Amino acid sequence: EIDSKTELMLFAAARRLHMQTKMLPALAAGEMVIVDRFIDSSVAYQGYGRELGVEPVNWLNEFATDGLKPDLTLYFDIDTDVALERIMKNRADEVNRLDLERAEMHRKVRQGYLEIVKQEPERFVTIDASQELDKVVADTLTVIKKKFCL
């Protein structure tokens, strides 16, 4: 088992590598880059969930990404208990070790995301993830098309 600080640094290192090898070359080529998790995930999971604090996590994110931030961040919001129920129901799908954390950890992470959304409302759009999957997908596509004039 790894401790919280090690976890944070490993995610930052992986993010840096992914940014250098995949994201920046794609952006330089004029491509749209879609990433399923980025800097805000570390703030929510390690800063709030693991209680390492927002300031050190933000500092490490800034260092690891050279300050790169997304033009748009979609936050898929769902009640913690409903989300955990879905995870357990769909265990045949990919489940990672963070998915298996205690409910209290997930509640802290959700609260963290809600705080981050409040701090940067111009970058975030919240999608109601409690809806049926088809509706979540439709809402997501609508937001992306509107933001990027597609």
Q: How far apart are CA 32 and CA 34, in angstroms?
A: 7
pLDDT at 104: 87
pLDDT at position 83: 84
130: which DSSP letter? T
Q: Tell the burial category of 46 from Cβ atoms under 10 Å away from its Cβ (0-12, 13-18, 19+).
A: buried
Looking at the chain, the whole-number percentage of residues with pLDDT higher than 70 is 92
Residue 66 clears pLDDT 90, i.e. is over it: yes
pLDDT tens digits, residue range 110-146? 999 999 999 999 999 999 999 999 999 999 999 999 9
- Average pLDDT (15-33) is 97
Question: What DSSP state is assigned to residue 92?
Answer: T
Distance between CA atoms of 38 and 34, rounded to whole angstroms? 10
φ and ψ of 2, to 5 deg: -100, 150
Given this model, what pLDDT does residue 99 score?
Answer: 57
Q: Cα-Cα-Cα-Cα dihedral of 12, 14, 19, 25, to 10°?
A: 160
pLDDT of residue 86: 81
> For 4-148, which CATH superfamily applies?
P-loop containing nucleotide triphosphate hydrolases (3.40.50.300)
Q: What's the pLDDT tens digit per position in 89-114?
A: 766 666 555 656 678 888 999 999 99
Average pLDDT across the chain, whole number: 92
